[in-house]
Structure 1
Amino acid sequence: MAEVANNTPPIVPGQIQAAEEKAVSPWKEAWKSFKKNKLAIVGFSIVVFFILLAIFAPLLAPHDIAKQELANKHIPPSAEHWFGTDEFGRDILSRIIYGARISLWVGFLSVAGSVIVGSFLGIIAGYYGKWIDAIISRIFDIILAFPSILLAIAVVSVLGPSLRNALIAIAIINVPTFGRLLRSRVLSVKEEEYVTAAKAIGMKDSRILIHHILPNSLAPIIVQGTLAIATAIIECAALGFLGMGAQPPTPEWGKMLADSRAFIIEAPWTVLFPGLAIMLTVLGFNLMGDGLRDALDPRMKN
């Protein structure tokens, strides 16, 4: 019997290795691209530094943040008080370390709330469209019609000045940002063939949204969320500066700036170091967010 010709080309080990390299997870590929961005790594390092500062604040703070020593007020930076003391003789370095907890807590929680509510509304509006889309979009337009800080002040004025109410206000003003982002993403993703196929086999809308549309919309959420944390920290500091956020004796950076503005000539270090803490934290999140955008956006890749 004649042998059947086998036209299948032989498998070369080098080709297998090359195929495995090409089949790298998109998230691993994004991480490799992120690590190549030096500015993004700098931002990531700054963010990690402040997160560790917040976690280990009780161990790192050299002095009691609430202890007042009026005899030691406005002491300039020294070996005992690296960042000096404020008008009540409290150690500024210790208060900045504990202030990292407050700013990061407000930033992460407010953005998490905005992501959850905004993503839900954006997905519903983009997927179902029609009158549902019209109502939700108009709500977003109304919120965006007000300057963000003025809307936050209005919300806190109604709820009452406190750190918790400031967090709620910051979450509310950021909801339309994520809602519009998810809506535009859903409008494009829902026209893909795999979504059409899922509808054709009778898959429920909830499963399509959770298992198909949402996973393919995570990249822009991550990027926008990182940048939104920086904005939330600034807004928290602004509300604290205006006396509508954290209340005394809470060591919040914006409140520290407000309490020290009268002593900017007499004791400039009381304003300098809280301001630097805000600037570095926001800079870290912005640099990291730009790096994530470059790593996760296919249009930014060669």
Structure 2
Amino acid sequence: MSAQPTPSPVTTQDPKTEGEEREALNSSLRDAWRSLFRHRSAVIGGGIVLFFILLALIAPLLVPYGFNQVDADARLQAPSAAHWFGTDDLGRDIFTRIVYGARISLWVGFFAILGSIIVGSLLGLIAGYYGGWKDIIISRVFDTLLAFPSLLLGIAIVSMLGPSLENAMYAIAIINIPNFGRLMRSRVLSVKQEDFVLAARAVGMKDWRILLKHVMPNSWTPIMVQGTLGFATAVLEAAAFGFLGLGAQPPEPEWGKMLSDSRQFIQSAPWTMIFPGMAIMFTVLGFNLLGDGLRDILDPRMKQ
């Protein structure tokens, strides 16, 4: 008497495992979203970030002056009703230049970190999933980039490409690639050993589908947190390049360049340095608080 054929355990369990995985992911996202609004640091940081984003979006509606409008009769005026943050050595309204400078800093930070995330995550996926010689080559490239101090490496890149805001953005993206690449690689090394990935391999699913459907969705959490913190770093690095004259060029109202131009007036007109410095400080503080909040919410090890 012949035995009845039994279905493959891997084949029958895979759809169920995939459905449970998707439902667990959706549930965790909902819980994280609710927890975000209960986390004080995340709410404060998100509020600061949202404030600067809105400031950049509605800049033309807020200011009565042009960011490069020169008034020789109003040079180095203290804060007043006509000029809330005072004027610089050319008579330009500092409040106007800070508002428009928010556009530059957020634009540079967003695209620099976005480029770092895309390139770094792709290289990290390849290195972590395939291993072997690909992992060795990519990891050595990351180690080489990390061997140089980030600011010195950025200065070298901008010096070769030429001082400009766009080249500073490229430099910031390049020096942050290893951070996201190594983080993604370590996450992929853990995720690819999970049962749902092994089951997908057993049923013959192609590598690119495994990466898109299973590995990447379960590896994005630390990238999101690092991306938020990296945004703050990118704003600081953009200001540093501007301060050194390697980033935004005159007459662009970039915060770091504004600090550099006002160094000689630190005693006679301190407001020319105080307000751009405060703009940098609060922007970085907002992204750091938001990033810390996301880490506390999304990282199970940080939960009590």
Whether TM exceeds 0.5 here: the answer is: yes
Pick one of 222, 229, 251 that aligns with 1:220.
222
Per-residue CA distance 1:190-240 (angstroms, 9 max, x = gap): 000000000011100000011100000111011000000000000000000
Alpha-carbon distance in 1 for matches of 2:248, 2:170: 13
- In the alignment, what sits opposite 1:110? 112
Secondary structure of 1:168's match?
helix
Pick one of 155, 163, 168 that aligns with 2:157.
155
Per-residue CA distance 1:113-147 (angstroms, 9 max, x = gap): 00000000000000000111000000000000000
Per-residue CA distance 1:31-52 (angstroms, 9 max, x = gap): 2222221121111000000000
Post-superposition, which runs of at least 4 consecutive aligned residues in structure 1 deviate over 4 A?
none
Pick one of 127, 138, 141 that aligns with 2:140.
138
Alpha-carbon distance in 1 for matches of 2:260, 2:273: 9
Secondary structure of 1:215's match?
coil
Secondary structure of 1:87's match?
coil
Q: Quick one: which amino acid aligns to residue 111 of structure 1? A: I
Secondary structure of 1:85's match?
coil
Pick one of 57, 69, 72 that aligns with 2:71.
69
Q: Quick one: which amino acid aligns to residue 76 of structure 1? A: A
> Unmatched 5+ residue regions in structure 1?
1-21
> Unmatched 5+ residue regions in structure 2?
1-23
- Structure 1 position 70, deviation (Å): 1.2
Secondary structure of 2:247's match?
coil
Q: How many residues align?
A: 281
- In the alignment, what sits opposite 1:264? 266
Give the alignment's TM-score, normalised by structure 1: 0.92
User: Is the 1:156–1:165 Cα contact (8 Å) retained in structure 2?
Assistant: yes
Equivalence map 1:246-265=2 (5 Å): 246-265=248-267
Secondary structure of 1:25's match?
helix
Alpha-carbon distance in 2 for matches of 1:241, 1:167: 14
User: Is the 1:34–1:294 Cα contact (8 Å) retained in structure 2?
Assistant: no
- In the alignment, what sits opposite 2:96? 94
Alpha-carbon distance in 1 for matches of 2:275, 2:36: 30
Alpha-carbon distance in 2 for matches of 1:42, 1:61: 26
Q: Quick one: which amino acid aligns to residue 29 of structure 2? A: W
Alpha-carbon distance in 1 for matches of 2:272, 2:201: 61
- In the alignment, what sits opposite 1:34? 36
Alpha-carbon distance in 2 for matches of 1:218, 1:62: 43
Alpha-carbon distance in 1 for matches of 2:93, 2:285: 25
Per-residue CA distance 1:169-192 (angstroms, 9 max, x = gap): 000000000000000000000000
Alpha-carbon distance in 1 for matches of 2:42, 2:188: 28
Please report the RMSD computed on the Cα atoms of aligned residues, expressed in angstroms. 1.1
Pick one of 280, 294, 297 that aligns with 2:296.
294
- In the alignment, what sits opposite 2:18? none
